[in-house]
Every structure is written in structure tokens, then in C-alpha cells.
Structure 1
Amino acid sequence: MTESELPVIVVGGGPVGLLTALGLRHYGVPVRVFEAGAGPTTMTKAGTILPRTLEIMRRYGAVNNIVGAAIRVEEIGEIKRSTGELTLSLRTALVDAETRFPFFANLPQHQLEPLLTETLTCQARTQVISYDHKLLEYRQDADGVVATFQTEAGMVEVRGAYLLACDGGRSTVRAHMGVEVEGTSLDLRYTLIDLDLDLDVANPQDYPYLTYFSDPKEWMILVRQPHGWRFIFPAAQDAPQPTPEDLKARVVQFIGNVDKAVILESANYRVHHRVATSWRDGRVFLMGDAAHLLTPMWALGLNTGATDAHNLPWRLAWVHKGLAPESLLDGYEQEQKTIAVKGAGEMAEAARHLMDAKGDATDVMSGSDWANVYTRSLLGMRLDVNGTGSWSMACTELAPACVGERLPDFRLQGPDGKPMRAHDLIDGNFLALHFCDARRRLDMPADDGERLRHFAVSRWDIPASDPLRARMLLDIGDAFRTRLGVGDGSVVLVRPDDHIVLICCEGTFRDEAAKAMPARPLQKD
């Protein structure tokens, strides 16, 4: 096979590995997934999918069955345990204009993985996931990577164009790379309990379906799941293994006596904030828990990994298709590592302060309720897209858009009069939005194949006979323009992963876009 025909090898069949594979397939890149286990996990693990992750799943054609199976949550509650007072109620309706998924989706990992697997298999129309394949080693050269797996039938070698390590916190790939992890592992564990009980009818409590009980001595997180209720507590590192009755007693301390509470499953998790010192070795990349072990607070682990699975696949696709040089791949670690090292740590500290009720949270959670929801949903993540050190995971106010932020998925009217969302215009391409008064003639550039699409955005419509109409979006009431904080003659350039890379005026767009977009690769002789 030539390099362009070789599949990308994904090691690890968890949510990040499956999302990455779906992303590569979405962009037309061949992929194979290898999982050491016998099938999707049966263990209860991560349980909350944030709106930004739902947007990523939609892009990859994987969201409908997941939302259909999940418990959708439109309120986050915070309760002071000592008084039972609801100290904060955040309604996700506040960000309804920003995303088509203004809710959190509660779905445990042992139900999520089979749905992602089903979607991947259906899209590929063949089996692309190989179970019982334990990675032993790999080697790479200028043209690809060869991975060696242990299987029941013996050792198997697979050649691919790249190898993506989604093999968890004890990553074999990371060890083979000789990469260390830096950070801390706290003397703290979380105890997770899934209970089959009824808090809606038999024991009505009316708690929000995502509730945080804060207390200096012992906090709790309550999560409504499709199969029951999940309770998460802190546990001392040296604490003995609790009995089922001990676990039930801890639940009763928070919510009172309940009828017919049956423990479905329980687990203990160590609290980490540790990040790999390097995420790339040639054609090999670390992703998800292999790259960063993050606290499960505020669902940072799975959902930060999902942003890895949104950042790298489009880059690999552009290199694979000859739309960009190999250097485009360097931006993955530059952007995602900063978020994992600093951003997630900052949010985790804020979460612990709020839960422990021992002091004020950091500035991460300051600002309006809108900003609080925007931050917790990861919709406000700003990447360091131009290497200037400008990044953030927190939003403290509703402000004009800036470079590095995700483009809000605002409602618009398409050229054919049908309602649509801004993200519908992005499908592996860069997107240039030209804000204008459409009544005046606009000299808008032609589209550049798969690389760049152009659309005019205006509150003024024009006749269907005008050639510009086919590339014009109606912005009712200038709502989108107002949200972005731009005026007539402004151009906003967006990457395939929805992040803004340029805001400029029409007169300088061609020159500025040439700098902001990946250069065309040199043609080989």
C-alpha cells in the first residue's frame, strides 16, 4: 500500500479511541481500531457528556442514538449540605442560542461505548474494531508504523500510516515512547456507587439531575443515569473497602431513608492531574488518558479527551489528502497540552473549592450564570491557535468573539430559505464568513475546493437571480453579527474543528488568510 492507502492505527477502543476513529472516517481517512479487551467495557465509568462533546459527536454522525439513550439534564444544582439550601441553580437554556445541544447528557461509559461501536461499524459497513489485540510494541520509519499485537492466534503485525495511542492511563504506547508524566496524584480517592432506586415517585426529592452537595467534611455528587442514580463521594486513600451496607448508609446521610435501594455497581478512583511531557514521537501521538490523567470532577476526563479527538483527526486528514504539509500536525500538542496542563487543572481546583466549601473558588467560576454554564459545558474553551499563548477554558462574561474561541453554533437562514446552524457550513473545510450589507455588491472570493468555503452574512436579503444568493446567509435581526461583535466589512475565518483563527476586515482578508491557513504542501517530483 502507498502511505495514503494505509490505515491510521488507533490503539484503544474506549470513548476517545472510538471518537477518533469516527472522526478519521468522517474525513475520509482509513482507520483500524485495536482493543486489548474482549469487547466494550462493562464497568461503570464516566457518566456525563457535555454539550461541546455532543457537538463533536454530531459532526461525526454519532450523536442521535447517544442522546436518545441518555438522560438529558437542563439544570445543574448546588446544595449546601448543612442546611439543604439550593445555593445555585444553573439552567442550560441560557446557552440555547449558542448550541443545538443546550443540555448535559448523562450516560455511563458501559452504555456509551457500545453505541459508539455500533455507529462506527455501521458507517464503515465492515468490522474495523479488532478485540483481544494487546499491543506489544511498534516501530516506525519514514513511510509508516508497524504495530505488533498479541492475539489468541499469536502475534500479528499491522502496518499503518500513523499510530494514535488511546490506550488509557497505563498506556503501553507512552511507555514504549519513554515519555514521563508530570503533575500530582492526590491522597484522595472517589467512591462511585450506582443505585437502582426511585427518587422521582416512591421517594420524591426533586433534586436537579446533576446536583453537587458541598460540605467541608464530606461532599457528594448526585447524577441521574438511565439505569438508576449515581452517587460520588470522596474517600481517604487508606480507608478500608466499604461494605454494601456502608455505601447505602453514606447515601442515606445525604438524601434520607429510601425504599428498595439496590447497589448495581461501585468503584473507587484515584484523583490525578498528570500530563505526559511529550505527546508526539514522529508518526505516533498520545490522546485521552494516555496523554493526560485528569480529575473526573465536572466530567473533565472524558470530555477533554473528546476535544483531543476533534483536534487531531482533521489535521491528519488534511495531510493525508495533500491539503497541508506535515507541520500542520505540530499544532495538536501545542493546543491540547496547554489545555490539559493548565486549563483542566484550574477548573479542577475550582471544583474542589466549591465542593469542599472551605473557601472561595478561583476566578474560573466567577461571572454571570450564562458564563458559568458556558464554562462547564466546555463551549467556552479557547485554544492557542496562533502560538501566542492566548488560551482559556473559562468564560466570565458574554463578550465579542476572539481568535481561538469556538464559533457559536447560531441559527441562520440558508440560501434556500431553510433554517440551519453555523456549524452546518463546516465539513472538513475552513469557513470564511463575510459580514456585509448584501444590498451592496460584495466582491467575495471563490471557494477553494476542499480547503475553504465563503459565505456572506447579512440581515438584508437579495433576489434569487443574484449569483451571491447561493452563498448568502440571512442573519435575522443581526443576531449572529451582534454575538460575534463584528460589523460590516468584517471577515471571520474558522477551522474545520469550529475554532476561529482570524477576524479581520475585508480589505486585508486575502493576505491575512494566507498566513492563518495551512500552506499548500510542496509538490513532490
Structure 2
Amino acid sequence: MDASVLIVGAGPTGLVLALWLTKQGVPVRIIDQTAGPGATSRALAVQARTLELYRQLDLADAVVAKGYAVPGVRLWLGGREAARIPFAAIASDLTPYGFLHIFPQDEHERLLIERLAALRVAVERSTELLGYAEDGGRVSARLRGPDGAERTAEAAFIAGCDGAHSAVRAGSAVGYPGAAYPQTFYVADVAGAGPAFNGDLNIELDQSDFLAVFPLADGGRVRLIGAIRQDDGRDLDKLSFDDISDRAKRLLRLEVETVNWFSTYRISHRVADHFRRGRTFLLGDAAHIHTPVGGQGMNTGIGDAINLAWKLAAVLAGRAPDALLDSFEAERRAFALRLVQTTDRFFNVAAAEGRLAEIVRTRIAPIALPLAAKLEPARDYLFRTISQITLNYRGEGLAEGRAGAVHGGDRMPWVKAGAGDNHQALAAIGWSAHVYGAADDGLRQWSEARRVPLAVFPWEKPMGHAGLRENALYLIRPDTYVALAETAQSVDAVERFFARTQIRP
């Protein structure tokens, strides 16, 4: 075979999948139809959960250094700022990344490509997937290279990370039900000045068309994102920035000096019927797509990649049965369905028409949102949802038990521990165990014999506030989700878990 995994598509999802697999010793090929990485981007936000996972490949610090941590969100009404919600007051005890981080997708891709190149893996550019078929225990794919010649590539598995019009999804005959939003979206990269160039995310509430200004790292440049309705009589495919900029300039008091680039696009809300079919996997926009409101799309694709990577590595190494790969669809498709429903509801409220919707946006929201931000439960819920740290796999086959407020399937809560934090012990990609308090000798001996690292943290009150239980045992998956939570340090319970799943850590 040419590689163990053929990855089609070199956006963030495909690049992250290639990085995580390569780091685990899995040979990959990654191809893309384009001649090079994009020079513009719609995706901007890197959520806290993504940054937490990026610590596994020493990526988080680089992304934070190259991007911009947004300190808060400002709501605008009638051409004036109506309210400000600071992020620092929301998430300082939930994650080391308690902010909205802006790092445009084109810059993000270049960083991932550099890291992949350092591992001696290059993206094969101007290479198109023409078709593929499963042939016994492998996939045989027909590729057209930059010279126009057709070649065959063989791999154990194929991963479709090739976007909403996925050739891999088409080749697997997987349905992609859903519908298009009635709005056309636009994005403009502009330089200028004005009160909305304040370093915060600025959202305008007056009109039923979504309108937001996202700050960028250099301070004098922002990304303007909005939605345009279909019923205004214009040819939306031929719009220019001048056609849509009046409202943004008036309601957000923008003084635009330079338009670096401008584009329009349509978006749908869809979830594929299957994320796995035989030796084929669908990830990112090839598997799910939804409104850009909330900055979830790119992060969800990256989450898909990390979820799948450790499972593929385990199966290819003979440390787990093929059935482990079924959990990719079970876990990630369930999340995608919830996400599409959530973003749909939010966008429909934000873009709804009518007198009632106008009252909610212009009179209730500017008062209710800042008040909600002062309430800890409301702040936590808002940040946990958007940042994806609330994502869990409870009730699935790789989740058992409960200790404190932490269930099997939950993200391991983040807490400060000594001079650092407990997530520092999760930097390596592999199984591990945590105890907050004291570990007994039997558990220590098991950890050494099984070569499963055991991290023991002296008990502190903040650990209880985070939902952890003193002296409980938490068995943690390679993607830093809790597989097993046990109030007693039961080695037998851990062994039963591995026997049931047939995983050898």
C-alpha cells in the first residue's frame, strides 16, 4: 500500500488528521485539488477546546501567539454601543484559553502545513480523486496528478476531508440531507477606523440580517461578516462590497479605507447519513455543514480528526478491533446533529423578521445578555457551549461510570494544579489515568505493568469545584476524554473496561 490512510482534502480537518496520525507513526498521504493553500478565509475562530487538544502536538502556544485573543463582545443598537460582555469574567476557571481566539483559516492552514512538513509529510497539490473502491482489506483510489496523468493509490482507509461537495462522500454513496439557508453570506477583509475597531467582537442588533465585525491581530484590520436576504431584487452573485457596505458603515460607524478582499457564499445545514461506510470516513464539511454563526465549523472538523486519529492508529497497530472505528460515527455524528440544531435555532432568532423578533433583538437582548453575563451559571453555559468544552460522549460504548460530577465520556475538567494544571499531564497521545488525592499501591503497580501513565495530584478545593472527586480514578482516552470514572481505585473495573472494548493500551 502507498499509505495506511489516504486523506483527501488539505484544509484544517485533513491537515490535523495527517498530523495526529503521523505523530502516532501511521503513514499517510494527503492530497488536495488546489495548487496551494488559500489566501482568504471565512473561518476565524479557534475555540478553547481546540486549543486544549492542540497542546498534544505543541501547537497551542503557536496558534495563540500568531492569532488574537478577543477580550469581549459588544452589542450595537441604533448606531451606538448598547452593552459589553467581557470574556475574562466568564471562563478563567474553566480552561487555560478563556477567550475567543481569532486565527484566520488561511494562516491556520499554513501553520499546520509547516508542522506537517517538519514531520516529512507534504501535501500533494493539484491532485484530484477521480474515484475509488474497496478491494478486500484495502482501498484502491484513482488519482489525477498535476501532470494530468492518472495513477492508482492504495491504502487501508480513505478519509474524506474534502468539503461540502466531497468526492469521497459521492464515491461512498452516502446521503447528505438538509437544506440551504435563504440568506447569502458575505465576508470582507477591510482596513479602516471607527469605534468598532476596538479589539472586541462587535454585533449589530438593529436589523434582521446578521452583521458582525471580528477583530484581527494587527488592530487596523477587521473581518466584516454579514447575511443578505434573497428578496431585495439584487443579483446576489454579482454583489460588490459597495453594494452591501452602507448598512455596516451606518450602524457600526465603520470608516473603511481599504477593502483587501470581498466574497459572497451560500451555506446549508446538512449532516451526512453516515460518517463511516466500510473503509471510508467523512469528516468536517464533508460530513456536516451549518451556519457560520458561533464559529463552530472548523473546530468541529478538527474535533472529528482527533477523534478518528487515535482510533485508526490503535486498529492499524493491532491494539483494537475494527469495531472501535464504529465509535467515530456514533460519537461525532451525534454531536454534529446537536450542533446543527443549536446553530439553526440561534441563527433563526438572530435573523428572524417581524415585530416580535425586532423587540427581542433591540429591547430585550441589550438588557438581558449583560445581566446574564453577571450570573455564573449563565456565563458558564454560554462559554461551555461555544467553546465546545461541554461536548461529551456520555452513553456511548467508550464511556463508563461516574465520580463526582464527572461522567465517563466527559472532557477531563481543567484545574490548576501546583505551578501548572492537570491538562499538562495529557500532552502525550495515549491512554493515561488520573487520581486527585492519593493513589494506592495496587493502582501504581497496575499502571507500571500496563505502561499506562498515572498522574497523581494532591487534593485541592478547586478540584472539587471542577466536579472531581477526591481519590477517585479517572481513566482517560488518547483524545483526553474520560473513558472510565470510578469512585474507588478499582483496577478490576479498568481491566473489565479494556476486556469489553478489546482495546490494548
What's the TM-score once normalised by structure 1's chain length?
0.83
In the alignment, structure 1 residue 478 sits paired with structure 2 residue 475: no
Higher RCO, 1 vs 2 (CA within 8 Å, ≥6 residues apart): 2
Secondary structure at 1:161 match in 2: strand
The Cα of 1:314 is off from its aligned counterpart by: 0.6
In the alignment, structure 1 residue 150 sits paired with structure 2 residue 155: no
CA distance in 1, matches of 2:303, 2:443: 36
Residue in 2 aligned with 1:493? Answer: 475
1:113-512 → structure 2 map (5 Å cutoff): 113-122=109-118, 124=119, 126-153=120-147, 154-198=149-193, 203-205=194-196, 207-226=198-217, 228-237=221-230, 239-240=234-235, 241-256=238-253, 258=255, 261-354=257-350, 356=352, 357-358=357-358, 359=360, 367-384=377-394, 386-387=396-397, 400-413=405-418, 419-425=420-426, 427-437=428-438, 444-447=444-447, 452-459=452-459, 477-488=460-471, 490-506=472-488, 508-511=490-493
1:266 aligned partner, one-letter code: F
CA distance in 2, matches of 1:341, 1:185: 16
The alignment yields a C-alpha RMSD, in angstroms, of 3.0
Q: Cα distance 1:381–1:442, how it changes in 2: closer, same or farther (>3 A)?
A: same
The Cα of 1:296 is off from its aligned counterpart by: 0.8
CA distance in 2, matches of 1:516, 1:80: 53
CA distance in 2, matches of 1:257, 1:443: 61
Is the CA contact 1:185–1:272 (under 8 Å) kept in the aligned structure 2?
yes
Secondary structure at 1:130 match in 2: coil
The Cα of 1:410 is off from its aligned counterpart by: 2.2
The Cα of 1:229 is off from its aligned counterpart by: 0.8
Is the CA contact 1:331–1:385 (under 8 Å) kept in the aligned structure 2?
no
CA distance in 1, matches of 2:196, 2:65: 25
1:493 aligned partner, one-letter code: L
Secondary structure at 1:162 match in 2: strand
Secondary structure at 1:65 match in 2: helix
The Cα of 1:447 is off from its aligned counterpart by: 2.0
Residue in 2 aligned with 1:469? Answer: none
CA distance in 1, matches of 2:483, 2:123: 35
The Cα of 1:88 is off from its aligned counterpart by: 4.9
The Cα of 1:521 is off from its aligned counterpart by: 6.3
Higher mean displacement: 103-112 or 327-336:
103-112
Secondary structure at 2:116 match in 1: helix
Is the CA contact 1:193–1:247 (under 8 Å) kept in the aligned structure 2?
no
Secondary structure at 2:462 match in 1: helix
The Cα of 1:91 is off from its aligned counterpart by: 1.2
Is the CA contact 1:188–1:237 (under 8 Å) kept in the aligned structure 2?
yes
1:61 aligned partner, one-letter code: D
Residue in 2 aligned with 1:473? Answer: none
In the alignment, structure 1 residue 515 sits paired with structure 2 residue 491: no
The CA deviation string for residues 210-262 of structure 1, in whole angstroms up to 9 with x for no partner, is 2222234333111012362111111123642333322332321222252x521
1:24-43 → structure 2 map (5 Å cutoff): 24-43=21-40
Secondary structure at 1:382 match in 2: coil
Any unmatched runs of 5+ in structure 1?
391-398, 460-476
CA distance in 2, matches of 1:425, 1:351: 35
The Cα of 1:354 is off from its aligned counterpart by: 4.2
Residue in 1 aligned with 2:19? Answer: 22
Identity level (%): 25
User: Which structure has greater helix proportion?
Assistant: 2
2:412 aligned partner, one-letter code: L
CA distance in 1, matches of 2:328, 2:399: 14
CA distance in 2, matches of 1:494, 1:257: 48
2:224 aligned partner, one-letter code: F
Any unmatched runs of 5+ in structure 2?
366-371
The Cα of 1:437 is off from its aligned counterpart by: 4.3
Secondary structure at 1:302 match in 2: helix
In the alignment, structure 1 residue 6 sits paired with structure 2 residue 3: yes
What's the TM-score once normalised by structure 2's chain length?
0.86
Q: Cα distance 1:351–1:424, how it changes in 2: closer, same or farther (>3 A)?
A: farther
The Cα of 1:388 is off from its aligned counterpart by: 10
